[in-house]
Amino acid sequence: MLMSQRSPHPSSALPSITRRRFARWLGLAPAVTLSSVPSIGAARPRVVIVGGGAGGASTARLLARDGGDRLDITLVEPSGTYTTCFQSNLYLGGYRTLGSLQHDYRRLATEHGVRVVQDRVTHIDRDRRLVALANGEADDGTRNSTLGYDRLVVAPGIELLHDSLPGHSAALAEIAPHAWQGAQQLALLKSRLDALGNGDHVIIVAPPNPYRCPPGPYERASMIARLFQRRGLTDSRITLLDTKTAYSKQALFEASWRRHYPGTIEWLPPDVHGGILSIDATRGMVETDLDTFQGQLLNLIPAQRAGAIAQDAALADASGFCPIDPGTMRSTLDPAISVLGDACIAGDMPKSAFAANSQARVVAANLLGELLDRPVPTARYGNICWSQIADDDSIKVGGGYASSGNRIASSSAFISERTDDASTREANVGEAQAWYRSITTEMFGGTS
Amino acid sequence: MAAPLAEPRVKVPERARIGEPFTIKTLLRHPMDSGHRIGEDDRLIPRLIINRFIATFENEFVFSAIIEPSIAANPYFEFTVRLERSGRFRFLWIEDGGASIAVERSIIVA
C-alpha cells in the first residue's frame, strides 16, 4: 500500500509537500486505506489541537505516535517557547534555571509530523467546524486565517481573573506579580525576590478553588523561605493570606515548615484575617476585615477559569470551566470537541500537568477510536503532585481516577505520611525530577 | 509546653463621631484545646483555652467574656461601642495557666 511506503519522517523527507496536501493527493488514488473512517470523507481526518501545554502537546504527540500517518494533526500554540508552570517554584527557590523550564515544538514538527502553527486562535466556529487564527499563513505563503477540523481538542489552560481581588488588575500584575503562567511573570517574581533585603516581608495571596496546581502556593512559600535561608535573610517573613480555610497537603506542609523554616511562614485563612477587602499593589498593602498587611513584595494569585478561547466558544458552564464526559473527555456541549487539562471540569482530579497528560491518553484513545476505528480502552486516569519543601524534603499526593456516574471520581489515593523517614522524602525529590523529564519528553519529543 | 500566644488581630476605626455607634472586631489565633481531643500520640490533649477576654477604654469596662471549653478555635468577638471622647482601648486575652496577651488601639472621637 502507498501509505506503508511513507518515510518515518515525512516532513523532512518531503520538505516541499505538506502533510495536508500530500494527503489530498493521496485522496485521489482509488481505495486508499481510509475507508474505515465513517462519514469523514476521503481525506485524512483533521484533528486541530488548541494549546501546546501538558494537555495539548501530549495529545498531539500521542495521536502522531499511534495514528500519525492516517491523521492530519495540527497544533496551534501562540508561543514558540513553552515555559512549564510545573516545577517553576523550583526556579524561584534556586533549584532550577529558567532555561531548564523552557521547551520548543521543533521535535514535534520534525520528528513526529505534527503541523505546529505558532498563532493564536481568536474564534471557534462550531457550526462550520473552523478555527480562526490571529495571523494565519498557509503553507504556500498565502494568508489563510482559518483551519478546518473534523475533531477539535481544546486545551487552553487557565485565564486569570485579576478583578477577583478587589483593587487589582492585569496591569498591576507588573507590580504585584502572579507568576502563575508565562515566563515573563515568573522572571519578574524571581528578580523581585532576589532584590529583597533582610527583614523584608512577602505576602502571597492564594486563590480560591478550583485553580491550577492546588499545592503550588504552599510549595512557593517553602521555596521563598528556602531562598531567604540561603541568602541569610533571617528576619524576613512570608504571610500567606488564603481565600480558603484549608489546602492540599496542609498538615505535611505545616510540619515541614516548623522543621525547616520555624517562624518564617504564617498561613492565615479567611476566618482569621476576616476576608480580603482591598489591595493596593503600589503600596504593597492588603486590607482584610481584621487587619492591614504590608509587604515589600506582593505575590497575588487571582481566581481562575478556563482559558479565554473556551469562554468565547461557549464550551464553559457557569463555573467558568468546561464540562466533559468523564469516559471520553468529550465536551458535553459539542461532541466534535474534546476539552482537557486545567480548562475542563475533571471531577476529583486536580488541575495539574500530570492530570492533563493522563487525560491526553483518554482523548487520544477516543479520537483514534472514532476516526480510525481503533479499540478504545475504558478510561483510567492518574495523578501525582510533588511539592518540594527543602533540599531533601519533597511531599506527594496522588491517586487513580475513573468515570463514575457523570463525573471523574477518585478510585484510589495516597499521600505522604507525617512519619515518613528522611530517605523517603529525599527519594520524592528524585522522583519529581524523573517525572519532569518524562512528561516533557512526552510533550515535546526527544529522549528523557 | 504551651506555645507563645499569637499576635491578636483587632480592628478599631481610626475615627468615630461623638455618640455614634461603631463596630470593633477582635480575633486571637488559638487552638482552644478542650481537653477532650485525642492527639497523634493517642493521648488526650490537655485542656488549654483562652478563658477570658476583656476590653476596656481608658480603664473603663467596655466588654468582657468568660469563655468555656466548647468555644471553637480562634475565638472571635465583635461588639458595638459608642464614645463621647477620644482615647485608648485595651484588649486582653487570658489563657489557662495565666498567660496573657494585650494590645491597645487609639481612636479619635469628634
The 10s digit of each residue's pLDDT in B11-62 is: 999 999 999 999 999 999 999 999 999 987 889 999 999 999 999 999 999 9
- Kindly state whether residues A6 and A152 are assigned to the same domain: yes
Domain for residue A408, yes or no?
no
CA distance A74 to A20: 10
Domain for residue A412, yes or no?
no
b/e string for A73-82 if b means 16 or more Cβ within 10 A?
Answer: bbbbbeeeeb
CA distance A304 to A225: 26
Q: At which of A302, A334, A349 does a domain end?
A: A302
CA distance A5 to A193: 56
Closest residue of A to B28, CA-based? A272
Instruction: Find cell 492588603 and name the residue.
Output: A286
| The pLDDT of residue A29 | 37
CA distance A36 to A373: 7
- Kindly state whether residues A51 and A101 are assigned to the same domain: yes
Domain for residue A297, yes or no?
yes
Considering only the C-alpha atoms of chain B, give the largest distance between any 2 of them, rounded to a whole number of Å: 57
Contacts of A273 in chain B (CB under 8 A): 9
B10–A272 CB contact, under 8 Å: no
Domain for residue A364, yes or no?
yes
- Kindly give, in sequence order, each residue whose CB lies less than 8 Å from that of residue A58, ignoring residues fewer than 6 positions away: A356, A357, A360, A361, A439, A442, A443
Q: Is B71 on the interface with A (CB under 8 A)?
A: no
| The pLDDT of residue B7 | 87
- Kindly state whether residues A360 and A249 are assigned to the same domain: no
| The pLDDT of residue A143 | 72
Rounded average pLDDT over B65-71: 94
Q: What share of chain A is helix, strand, coil (3-state, %, to 5)?
A: 35, 25, 40
Domain for residue A351, yes or no?
yes
Shortest alpha-carbon distance between residue A415 and chain B (Å): 17
- Kindly state whether residues A108 and A193 are assigned to the same domain: no
Domain for residue A398, yes or no?
no
Q: What's the number of domains chain A is made of?
A: 2
Closest residue of A to B3, CA-based? A263
Percent of chain B at pLDDT > 90 equals: 85
Give the A window 407-426 contacts with B, CB below 8 Å.
Answer: 418
Task: Residue A258: give the domain boundaries.
Answer: 161-302
| The pLDDT of residue A447 | 65
Percent of chain A at pLDDT > 90 equals: 85
| The pLDDT of residue B56 | 97
- Residue A283 CA to chain centroid, in angstroms? 32
- Kindly state whether residues A168 and A148 are assigned to the same domain: no
Interface test with chain A among B7, B10, B11, by most A beta carbons within 10 Å: B11
B29–A290 CB contact, under 8 Å: no
- Kindly state whether residues A153 and A9 are assigned to the same domain: yes
Interface test with chain A among B9, B29, B71, by most A beta carbons within 10 Å: B9
- Kindly state whether residues A124 and A191 are assigned to the same domain: no
* φ and ψ of B18, to 5 deg: -55, 125
Query: What would you report as the CA-atom Rg of chain A, rounded to the nearest whole angstrom?
Result: 23
CA distance B66 to B68: 7
Domain for residue A415, yes or no?
no
- Kindly state whether residues A165 and A274 are assigned to the same domain: yes
- Kindly state whether residues A10 and A152 are assigned to the same domain: yes
Q: At which of A348, A378, A408 does a domain end?
A: A378
Cis peptide before A210 (omega within 30 of 0): yes
Given CA atoms A387, A390, A395, A396 in this order, what sign does their dihedral have?
positive
Q: How many CB atoms lie within 10 A of CB A320?
A: 18
- Kindly give, in sequence order, each residue whose CB lies less than 8 Å from that of residue A433, ignoring residues fewer than 6 positions away: none
| The pLDDT of residue B39 | 83
| The pLDDT of residue A35 | 36
- Kindly state whether residues A98 and A139 are assigned to the same domain: yes
Which stretch of DSSP H or E encloses residue B44? none
Interface test with chain B among A266, A290, A292, A417, by most B beta carbons within 10 Å: A290
Domain for residue A407, yes or no?
no
Low-confidence residues of chain A, pLDDT below 70?
A: 1-42, 138-141, 447-448
- Kindly state whether residues A151 and A6 are assigned to the same domain: yes
Asked if ipTM goes beyond 0.90, one says: no
Hey, what domains does chain B have and what are their CATH numbers? 9-109 (2.60.40.10)
Q: At which of A258, A280, A302 does a domain end?
A: A302
Shortest alpha-carbon distance between residue A186 and chain B (Å): 33
- pTM of structure: 0.86
CA distance A423 to A83: 31
CATH of the domain at A206: 3.50.50.60
A289–B11 CB contact, under 8 Å: yes
| The pLDDT of residue A196 | 98
- Kindly state whether residues A208 and A269 are assigned to the same domain: yes
